[in-house]
Structure 1
Amino acid sequence: MSTSERMRNYHGPVLLSHGFRAFFLLSALWAALAMAIWVAMLGGAEILPLAFDPFSWHAHEFLYGYLGGVIAGFLLTAVPNWTGRLPVMGAPLAGLVGLWLLGRAAVGASALLDWRVVLLADLACGVMLLAFLAREILHGRNWRNLPVLALLGLFTAGNALFHIEAARGDAAFEGMGMRLGLAAGLVLVALIGGRIIPSFTRNWLAARGVQRLPAPFGRGDGLVLGLTVVTLAGFVALPDGRAMPWLMLACGAAHLWRLARWQGAQTGAEPLLWVLHLAYGFLALGFWAEAVAGFGLMAAAPARHVWLAGAIGLMTLAVMSRASLGHSGRALHAGRGTTALYLALTASVALRLLAGLLPAQVWLLHLSGTLWVLAFGGFALLYLPVLARPRVAKKPVSGARRPA
């Protein structure tokens, strides 16, 4: 049975008809809810029975909770397109979603459970996703995407290490497990962003007759990715090394050079495009923020949020909105509501950075968190009809001959 035949013969819940639907919706809801809980924790509330310290729970549930769910939704949607094999849908997809929810519940009630039980519950979805991706790449002989498999493996290993560090009583939010998962996520942004941003931009500009198009992938892009891997490997293994701030500066400049070749300045009329360029810009600026922190000119936490909230947060919001529209048969255009989500999240990142520079102004943290909740809660509300309703049938082009 082909992919299209399987989709036509599916009669279960729409949310389980494609990987992006349930995972994007639940991940966005969790991003909003977890931030609301975190803001309450900043005010002294004890809401969850946590074995993690509050800072480690906050970091874990954004990186391995929220991002883990988005990665699952993205890969379950993209891999069938990469390999030409059948998508995961129905009961198997419900099982994966259930495992992801089990992880969130186990971490949230970690004080009531043995840490090894929490670890196994939290790793279950990632391990199953890793097995799925390995099977699809091997059966489809899709060797080009082996780096994605390797990065997912590192991401899952980082999650395991995070739990081990937390069980030892370490500050896991600044440990190697956190850095490994963050590094894997950032390389995914650089790798997949480097595919989709120039491609989507080229298609949009070409359709409008623009002559200056994004530069194709070349040797320079490969060198930038290589430098990124080297820099982030150092970030994981030797974060306090003397050479690290200089490597971070060089890597940030390299990514800005790469971004400048993609003609982002010409995409101002379409938020679905300029937000991708902006998110990739946060990736580059995050390297520079880490360099500034490495030189002792800024605290580590606000610098790290340029990557976490800016590069990863905004890139995932951009990808979720575009993929939801495209895979549901809707026009690839961001209306005012979607644009407002992008602006709210961008403002949240800016305020989080400002709060780090002005630590006495705690209200900046609360305002940043509120804007984050509005961005992701707004996505869940605005895109619920898109994600929970069947795909929109495309209207035939006027004047086109109908097939016999």
Structure 2
Amino acid sequence: MHAQSAATPPLAAVLGDEGLRLFFPLAALHGALWPFLWTVAYSLGMPADGAMPPSLWHATEMIFGTYGAALIGFITTAIPEWTDRPRPKGRALFAFAGLWAVGRVAGLIGDDRLGILGAVADCTWLLALVAYVARNWIARPHVRLFAPLFWLSGLAAAGIAVRGAFLLGDVELAHEAILIAGLVFLGLLGVVLARVTVPVTNLILDPSEATSPYRPHPGRINLAPGLVLAVVLAQMAGVSPAVSGFLLIAAGAAFMDRVAEAFVGREAFRPEILALSSSSLLSGAGLILAGASRLGAPFAETPALHLALMGGLGVGVLSVFAIAGLMHTGRTLPLPRLAVVALVLMVSAVLLRVLPELGVLPWPPGPPYAMAATIWAAAFLVWLKGYWPYLSTPNSEGGGCG
């Protein structure tokens, strides 16, 4: 017993062995605690009275905080898998984590002075992530890394614009840059879903992995990201609300097309496929409603964007957590019960956040959005409870998810 205990590596070594082991738990903790504090503890305002309104701090933290940590974990895990190159470990991962954490301190309290340090930290890790993917593409030019590199570069540019607007105190520019950053993240989500859905669906259809029965149409793989790019370019060009509204509807329809492709027979109702298709469904519905709002529909654009960015991105991130957290820790499908519970909680939180503003449901009791934030936090914490034993203990080499 003593010899076995002595041979067990310390927790820091286990977490630093692969990107998802470190960053998925960090993203889950941030996603659980920060929104809960904003809506419950900070219901009267941010601790620091800065130039930027709390709503912009909140949006920035969700995109570059929760989703940012998930992105670092995914990229530093998936790129080595796709390129068959050594993965970053130890100091490299902890350096990314340190930079990411500095930005989160400023976002927690909304302090403009700390925002300078946070801006430098966030821009550094975003650019470092772009450089990491570019270096791997140069080393393995035959691997299809153009799309991830393109969208990561766009996200880095949007992140720099957001942080620049915060430092200048330009609320209008910050709002526009955050919207573009969220759209870019949706484009990146479309790329990731295209890479992850195929092997996961094939594993479900043929657990022996002897065949590949699921082969989506090649021309539709980049349809959703391509139309999101059209929305981003139109937004940057300052087109009319009508034009951008129609483009948003088209991009949403492309995500809905992903949902249609998920119907592969009765296996389409497996939690793994439902989770991935639900991410596309919420993204598509949110974009379509946002477009409808710009075309004069009788509801605001904000809940529609929450449906896409909170719902589509949130469920997509949690789905990757659940699937990759198994495949990269020596385990395989199906999803454990707690993962399914976490996904149901997240969808419930999104609907509770969005539907009252759309006039579909009455407002729940208590402070505004407090119940939705509580359920949202529970989703991440339930996932973390179920997967922490997998992520924090060493294991033999796992498989992959794309």
Tell whether the structures are fold-level matches, with TM greater than 0.5. yes
CA offset at residue 124 of structure 1? 2.0
1:344 aligned residue: 345
CA offset at residue 45 of structure 1? 5.2
1:118 aligned residue: 118
1:382 aligned residue: 386
Any unmatched runs of 5+ in structure 2? 1-6
Give the Cα separation in 2 of the matches to 1:125 and 1:337. Answer: 32
Deviations, residues 283-329 of structure 1 (Å, cap 9, x unaligned) = 21122111122123211210101111111000000001111111001
CA offset at residue 208 of structure 1? 8.6
2:333 aligned residue: 332
Give the Cα separation in 1 of the matches to 2:50 and 2:384. Answer: 26
* TM-score (ref. length: structure 2): 0.87
CA offset at residue 86 of structure 1? 0.7
Q: What is the 5 A alignment of 1:4-403?
A: 13-40=13-40, 43-44=43-44, 46-47=46-47, 52-108=52-108, 111=111, 113=113, 115-142=115-142, 144-171=144-171, 175-207=175-207, 213-238=213-238, 240-263=240-263, 266-267=266-267, 270-296=270-296, 297-358=298-359, 361=363, 363=365, 365-391=369-395
Give the Cα separation in 1 of the matches to 2:339 and 2:196. Answer: 19
Residues 301 and 91 of structure 1: CA distance in aligned 2, closer, same or farther (over 3 Å): same
- Percent identical pairs in the alignment equals 25
CA offset at residue 222 of structure 1? 4.4
Residues 236 and 171 of structure 1: CA distance in aligned 2, closer, same or farther (over 3 Å): same
CA offset at residue 87 of structure 1? 0.6
Conserved in 1, the CA contact under 8 Å of 2:102 and 2:118?
A: no
SS at match of 1:357: coil
* TM-score (ref. length: structure 1): 0.86
AA matched with 1:378:
V
SS at match of 2:144: helix
Give the Cα separation in 1 of the matches to 2:397 and 2:137. Answer: 30
Conserved in 1, the CA contact under 8 Å of 2:279 and 2:313?
A: yes
Give the Cα separation in 1 of the matches to 2:377 and 2:173. Answer: 21
Residues 166 and 172 of structure 1: CA distance in aligned 2, closer, same or farther (over 3 Å): farther
Stretch moving more, 219-228 or 381-390: 219-228
CA offset at residue 57 of structure 1? 1.0
Give the Cα separation in 2 of the matches to 1:362 and 1:269. Answer: 30
2:3 aligned residue: none
Residues 223 and 113 of structure 1: CA distance in aligned 2, closer, same or farther (over 3 Å): closer
Residues 221 and 329 of structure 1: CA distance in aligned 2, closer, same or farther (over 3 Å): closer
Conserved in 1, the CA contact under 8 Å of 2:15 and 2:392?
A: yes
AA matched with 2:354:
L
AA matched with 2:391:
L
Conserved in 2, the CA contact under 8 Å of 1:82 and 1:142?
A: no
Stretch moving more, 189-198 or 264-273: 264-273
CA offset at residue 52 of structure 1? 3.3
CA offset at residue 393 of structure 1? 7.3
CA offset at residue 360 of structure 1? 8.1
Give the Cα separation in 2 of the matches to 1:66 and 1:316. Answer: 9
SS at match of 1:374: helix
Conserved in 2, the CA contact under 8 Å of 1:205 and 1:213?
A: yes
Give the Cα separation in 1 of the matches to 2:155 and 2:227. Answer: 19
The alignment's C-alpha RMSD in Å is: 2.9
AA matched with 2:363:
Q
AA matched with 2:28:
A
CA offset at residue 366 of structure 1? 1.7
AA matched with 2:313:
I
Conserved in 1, the CA contact under 8 Å of 2:47 and 2:109?
A: no
1:399 aligned residue: none
